[in-house]
Amino acid sequence: MRKPLAAGNWKMHKTLAEARALVSALRAGLEARPGISGRVDVAIFPPATLLFPIAKAVDGSPIVFGAQNAHFEAQGAFTGEVSVPMVKETGAATVLVGHSERRHVFGESADILTRKVAAVLGAGLTCVYCVGETLDEREAGRTERVVGDQLDAALGGGMDLVRVVIAYEPVWAIGTGRTATPQTAQQAHAFIRARLSEMYGQSAAAATRILYGGSVKPGNAAELMAGPDVDGVLVGGACLVADDFLAIIDAVAAG
Ligand code: PEP
């Protein structure tokens, strides 16, 4: 039985004061929903500078927090980077790897992402590994090839799948207001689960959570959750407003 997960990627948003206000509103909203933490896991991914204060802000609540990125080396001459041990020291439980903005804006290659997944899992953290095709790739009928290659590259080395969450995020749906239909999302999720099954066996694949991401909003979260292989959502824009993210958490908990 897979417990659904609602995850919020803050991207490069929120000052410290804004972050504290958002977490406090989320905490209040979750407290007003008795039993919600038994039905859904909630994770937030603030910018790196906020990880230590967020650790304090979420303390005693069901909210888990993680980093949006981390370097694969533990330390060294990598100006501007933050390592997995540094992230872990904040109390973060998880790291996003392979978000489309990391792949396409910052040019992170399959090789870099493979090393990042290994570093995150090697440190005992959970890895939310993002995969997804561009619009050109979808229109060329290459979605499964691209997503399959992304899975093979990062997870082909015999990883501990128990601490891996997959986020299927079609690039054309991220921050565009254009969402995959529930059928399109389910089809991609079923493909991902089948690929994980080939790689790790049926029971490991059946236990792995696969999130959908790409313009998830309060108005479409429930229909996206209807797919049997959709185990939650990774939300960008809509997680920055407490009431919107809480409405999405409700939809995920009900799904
Ligand atoms: C994301 O950042 O992972 C994302 C899916 O963004 P948005 O919800 O804004 O499309």
The yes or no reply on domain 5-254 and CATH 3.20.20.70 is yes
Taking Cα atoms as reference points, which of 61, 191, 52, 211 lies closest to residue 126?
A: 211
Do 246 and 29 meet the contact criterion of CB atoms below 8 Å apart?
yes
Point out the catalytic residue in the list 71, 133, 169, 189: 169
Nearest ligand 1 atom, CA 169: 5
**Is 99 one of the annotated active-site residues of the chain?**
yes
Q: Which residue, judged by its Cα, is nearest atom 8 of ligand 1?
A: 236
Domain ranges of the chain: 5-254
Residuewise pLDDT in 10s, the chain (255 residues): 899 999 999 999 999 999 999 999 999 999 999 999 999 999 999 999 999 999 999 999 999 999 999 999 999 999 999 999 999 999 999 999 999 999 999 999 999 999 999 999 999 999 999 999 999 999 999 999 999 999 999 999 888 899 999 999 999 999 888 889 999 999 999 999 999 999 999 999 999 999 999 999 999 999 999 999 999 999 999 999 999 999 999 999 998
State in Å: Cα 118 to ligand 1 middle: 24
Mutation pick for ligand 1 pocket among 105, 216, 230, 240 (CB with most ligand atoms within 8 Å) = 216
Q: Which helix (H) or strand (E) holds 215?
A: none
State in Å: Cα 77 to ligand 1 middle: 31
Q: Measure the CA–CA gap between 56 and 37, rounded to whole angstroms.
A: 19
**Is 13 one of the annotated active-site residues of the chain?**
no
Contacts of 186 (CB under 8 A, 6+ apart): 226, 227, 228, 229, 230
**Residue owning tokens 């082909």:** 156
